[in-house]
Structures are given as structure tokens and as C-alpha cells.
Structure 1
Amino acid sequence: MLCPTSPHLALLALLSVAGAVGPGEPCPSEMNLIKDRLQVNCSGQGLSVVPLALPRNTSILLLSSNRLASVSTAAFQHLPELAELDLSHNALGVLHTGPPLPLLQELVLSHNALGVLPTLQGLPALTRLALAHNNISGGAIVYGVDQKAVPTCNLAGL
């Protein structure tokens, strides 16, 4: 049986973290070939804040399965082409909708801790909203911007 030597241990350590993204490093990005949009995947990185080092032309941003507790639309103002945002499986208790996200079409907030329906002002292009498995109570009717119902809205598990 061989005993691992110091160089072997170093190699094993490097291999075990290969592909991992550190806190100061950007999230991996690639062209979504089906949608022909730049997709950035920051899922499952233990993030408690939205990273700033994202490509300006990000159109699809995946932030699922992190530790985000509160997010504002201001965190995405440097992403003028943002069309899809996945914030599912976090600890979101609050979504602050301040500055508008004019091109955002899809907002996924499922599996969070939202207690109230987020205000959807500033999201004029929103066509899909997922709120399943949150703490929203009461017979809240979901309305989008301009007093129109959001065409696709998943409220399962509320």
C-alpha cells in the first residue's frame, strides 16, 4: 500500500476543489443555446448577497439554493438585459422592488420564506411568477404591473 506523499496530497486537494467558485470569483457563465441568451449560474454557492462581478450582458441569472434572506431589485441594476431571475430555495423573507427591471420576464421565488406578496411595480415585462412553497397567507390575488394578472403564476403549496 502506498502512503500519499506531500505532493500527492497537494494534488488531491487541488482536484477536490477543481471547478469550485470562491467568494471573490465570478459565477460560471455560458450561452443558453435554446434561448440564445447569456446564462450565469451562481446556484448552490452559499451566497448571502448577490454578487457584483457578473457579466453586464447577463440575461438569465440562477441564484437558487443559496442563503439569500433579503434582496432588492437594486442589486440587479447593473444587468440591463436581465430577463430571467431564479431566487428559489433560499431563505428570502423580503423582496424589495425598488428600481425597475424593465426586461424581466420570469421571476422564480419558490421555496422561500416570503410572508407577503412582493410588489410587482417596476416589472412591466413580467409574464411568469413562481411563488410556490412560501409563507404567503390569505386569499391574495396576484396582479402584475399595470393591473394585469400575471399570465403564468405558480402558487402551489401556499
Structure 2
Amino acid sequence: MRFPAIAWFKGQRCNQTWLRDPRRQLSLLLLVVSMSLCGGHACPVICNCTRKAGGFLAVQCNKQGLAEVPKGLPANTTLLSLRSNHIAELHNNAFLGLAWLRELDLSDNVVETVYPGAFQGVQDSLLFLNLSGNQLQTLSKTAFQQLKASIRLDGNPLHCGCDLQEVLNSIHLDPGTKSHLTCVTSQQESVRGRPFIQAGQEMDCNMPRKTMDVAMLVTMAGWFTMVVAYVVYYVRTNQEDARRHLEYLKSLPSDQFKPAQEVDTLSTVL
């Protein structure tokens, strides 16, 4: 980005006469302060840049009819407010280059889509994210899972289901607004229009795991039944063979049942 004042400054002779001019001294001072304040980038015309206590730079672009995140924001921005605009999508790398960003206010827009890489570059620095009062129905887990920030999501027409529950359980919801999340729509009719905290307790989101457990139990029961059936069959078969063998022995002449010792004695006597 070009700074006209810098070009003008370079075009002047840096002599003592030029430096003694109060107006030029003031111009140079304003230039240095402006560059220090904006970290090498000029504040966007539609925004207001102010330095807060502690050296933080706050950039406010509220109520400007913005349809997307403005480009060329100061690199040392620590607080960015884009409240009450018309931003509908947060594209990948929307805040790339704002490595010092701590707070991001996107409340009262019409955001309905957050792309997986929307917060790329600020996922480690961001401490607070305000997305309240938008049009979010579902949330991308990949877009929010790396964020350490406390997140506000109240005032969105959330579609409650197991996917949303999984995302909400994996992010840091702002404690003060967690109870204000409402299930505007849901496939489960009983939770529609109810607070998410209550609805989440009724949604059976462990169905796949329960189904797997039941299938395993049924399989184990089937194997056990087969083993028991085989043992019973084996025992009954052996009992039937033993019974038949006993009946066969009983059908033989009685002298065939004489013990072997008795037979040997008779042979000796003879």
C-alpha cells in the first residue's frame, strides 16, 4: 500500500530549513504516529482505528453495509468489530495476517456459512468470538475445533441434531450464553423450540455405539447357543449309543456275561 505522505517526504530536501518548518514537522509527526498506530497498514476508510489501554489497536467497522470481511486491515489489530453488517459467509483465510487478533465481533450479521479455514492464522491468538444474532443452522467441526476462543452463538436458528451436539461439545461456549441456545429446528419433533441444554439430554446421539453393542451381544448369544446345542447333541448322542450297546449286551446269552476269571477257572478244572 502506498502512502502519499511518504512519497511527498522523499521528494523534499532534508535540510535544516525544511525541518524548521512547524507545519512540516507536524506532518512528519502525524505520519510516524499513523504508521505506528496501524502497524504499517492504513486504517480502512470505512473503519475507525483507535489505540486502547495497553497498546491494543481496536478496529471498528460497524454498520457499514459490508458484505465480506474488509481487506487491508492493520496487522496489529487486536480487537475487530464488524457488528451489524451484511456478511453472509466467512471464507477461508478471511482473517489471515491478523496474528495479534484477540477479540472478533461478528454479531448481528447474516452469517450462515463458516468455511473450514475461515479462522486460519488466528486460531491460536483469538480469545473471544461473537457470532450471536446470525443465521447459523449448522456448524463445521473443522472450522471451530482448533479455536481456543470463548464463542457466543445465541440468537442463531440452530438445527439440533447429533452433528451439532458433537461440535458444541468440542468447542468453548461462552458460559453466560450457553443457556440461551435454542433448537429452532430438529428432526426430532420433541426438541424443537426448546433450549439446547434440555434438548441435548433427550437426543439419543449414542445410537451407533448402542447398535454395535447390541449386535455384538446378539452375536455372542448366537455362538453360546450353538455351543450349548452342540454339547446337548453330543451328550444325547452318546447316551443313545450307550443305551443301544447296553441293550445289545442284554440280548446276548447269559454265559457270555460270565467274567473272564470264571471262564479261566472252568478251563483249568476241565
State whether TM-score is above 0.5. Answer: yes
One-letter identity of the residue aligned with 1:32: K
Structure 2 spans left out of the alignment, 5+ residues = 1-43, 183-270
Partner of 2:47: 27
1:92 aligns to 2:108 (yes or no): no
- Distance (Å, rounded) in 2 between the aligned partners of 1:44 and 1:68: 11
The list of structure 1 runs, each at least 4 consecutive aligned residues, that deviate by more than 2 angstroms after superposition, is 151-155
From 169, 175, 178, the equivalent of 1:143 is 169
* Contact kept? 1:64, 1:88, Cα under 8 Å: yes
- More strand as a share of residues: 1
1:131 aligns to 2:150 (yes or no): no
How many residue pairs get aligned? The number is 128
- Distance (Å, rounded) in 2 between the aligned partners of 1:58 and 1:138: 35
1:44 aligns to 2:70 (yes or no): no
Deviations 1:89-141 (A, max 9, x none): 00101112312422011110000000112431332x31x11001101121543
One-letter identity of the residue aligned with 1:46: G
- Distance (Å, rounded) in 2 between the aligned partners of 1:152 and 1:137: 19
Residue 157 of structure 1: CA displacement? 4.8
Deviations 1:37-86 (A, max 9, x none): 21100111000011112111001100010000001351101211111110
Change (3 A) 1:73 1:30: farther
Partner of 2:132: 110
- Distance (Å, rounded) in 2 between the aligned partners of 1:44 and 1:73: 23
Structure 1 spans left out of the alignment, 5+ residues = 1-23
- Distance (Å, rounded) in 2 between the aligned partners of 1:135 and 1:151: 16
Partner of 2:73: 54
Higher radius of gyration, 1 or 2: 2
* Contact kept? 1:107, 1:130, Cα under 8 Å: yes
One-letter identity of the residue aligned with 2:139: L
* Contact kept? 1:40, 1:61, Cα under 8 Å: yes
Change (3 A) 1:132 1:80: same
- Distance (Å, rounded) in 1 between the aligned partners of 2:79 and 2:71: 15
* Contact kept? 1:100, 1:122, Cα under 8 Å: no
Q: Percent identity?
A: 32
One-letter identity of the residue aligned with 1:135: P
Partner of 2:21: none
One-letter identity of the residue aligned with 1:30: T
